[in-house]
Amino acid sequence: MTAAGGRAVVLDGKAAAAAVKADLAVRVAALRERGVVPGLGTVLVGDDPGSAAYVRGKHRDCAEVGIASIRVELPADATQAQVEEKVAELNADPACTGFIVQLPLPAGTDTNRVLELVDPDKDADGLHPTNLGRLVLRVREEVTSPLPCTPRGVIDLLQRYEVPLDGAEVVVVGRGTTVGRSIGLLLTRRDVNATVTLCHTGTRDLAAHLRRADVVVAAAGVPGIVRAEDVRPGAAVLDVGVSRVVGADGKAVLTGDVAPGVEDVAGWLSPNPGGVGPMTRALLLANVVEAAERAAG
C-alpha cells in the first residue's frame, strides 16, 4: 500500500499490535497445554507516573494473551543493592520466564550494571550486553536471541506495510540505548539490507541528512525535530520520540518528535500515539513467548 492524495498512509501500530498479540495468544495456549506458563516480571523503581503507566500497560497486555504477571516495585530511594537483589530474585524465579527493568532508573542508579545482571536468557528487553553482542555477531543469520522491542517494532511495522527497505537510505535521529543505538544493527542485516545513518545532537546538518532519507526514524525525544520542510516527499517517517510538554490549557501532554505538516509530505507516517508504542509492548510479549518456547525446547 502507498500514499494516496498527498497524505501519508498511516502505519497503524494499534492494529499491527493486535495482530501480533492474536498470534501470541495461540502460541501461549500451546505452551500452556505442554505445562509451560510464560511469565513476565517487571521491576519498577520510583514513582514516575509515565513509567508506572507503561508497566501497567505491559501487564494488561500479558493478561490479554495469557502470560502470567510478576510485579516488583521499589521506592525512588532504593539503593543499587536493593535493585540488584530484585534482579537476582527474578533470575532465580522459575515462574518468571522473562523480565524487564523499567527505564529510566532513578538518578544515581547504575543502569548498565543492573542490565548486566539480568540473566540473558530471561532478558525480555533484549538489552543485556550478551544479547546486544549476539545481534552484532549474527548479522548474517536469523537471530534467535531477544531483540530490543522498539527497533523490532519499527521494522515489523515497515515490513507489514511493505515499505521498501532493500537499499533504502534510513536516517535514525537519536542515539539512546532502547532505540537509536541498536536499530541500525537490525536494519543492516542482510535480510533487510538498508543503509543507515545515525544522527544525534552532534550532527552538523540534520536537515541535510533528513532530506535524502527514504525512511526517517525519529527517536530523539525532541518535540518537532523532524519538520515537514526537511522530509523528502514520499518518505516513510516513524515517530518514536516521547516528550511531556505543557499544553495551552496548562495540562501535561505527550508529544512526539515529528512536527505537524509531515503527514502532507510523507508517504507513510507512524502516528504518536498509536504507532510504534503499541508495537513496543506487543514485541515485548513476543520476546517473553519466544524465551519460553526456547526454554521448553
Q: Binding-site residues for NADP(+), please?
A: 174-176, 242
CB nearer to ligand LMY7XDAE: give 89 or 169: 89
Looking at 89-97, 134-142, 211-219, 266-274, which segment touches ligand LMY7XDAE (CB under 6 A)?
266-274
* Joined grid coordinates for residue 25: 495468544
By CB under 6 A, what part of segment 59-88 binds ligand LMY7XDAE? none
Asked, as a colleague might, if the bond just before 49 is cis with ω within 30 of 0, I would say no
Q: What is the DSSP string of 194-259?
A: -EEEEE-TT-S-HHHHHHT-SEEEE-S--TT-B-GGGSPTT-EEEE---EEEE-TTS-EEEE-SBP
Q: What string marks each residue from 110 to 139 as x (binds ligand LMY7XDAE by CB under 6 A) or -? A: ---------------x--------------
Q: What string marks each residue from 230 to 259 as x (binds ligand LMY7XDAE by CB under 6 A) or -? A: ------------------------x-----
- Amino acid of residue 224: G
Tell the residue number behind the cell numbers 546486544, with chain if given: 132
Give CA–CA dist 242/255, Å, rounded: 6
149 touches ligand LMY7XDAE (CB under 6 A): yes
Pairing of strands 243-246, 252-255: antiparallel
CA 123 to mean position of chain CA atoms: 14
User: Could you give the C-alpha distances from 96 to 37, 41, 263, in angstroms and in order?
Assistant: 9, 6, 42
Looking at 23-31, 100-108, 214-222, 289-297, which segment touches ligand LMY7XDAE (CB under 6 A)?
100-108
Least gap, CB of 240 to ligand LMY7XDAE (angstroms): 9
Number of chain positions touching ligand LMY7XDAE (CB under 6 A): 18
Catalytic residue among 86, 102, 230, 257: 102
> What residues are labeled active site?
58, 102, 125
Residues near ligand LMY7XDAE (CB under 6 A) are 53-54, 100-103, 125, 149-150, 178, 254, 272-274, 277-278, 280-281
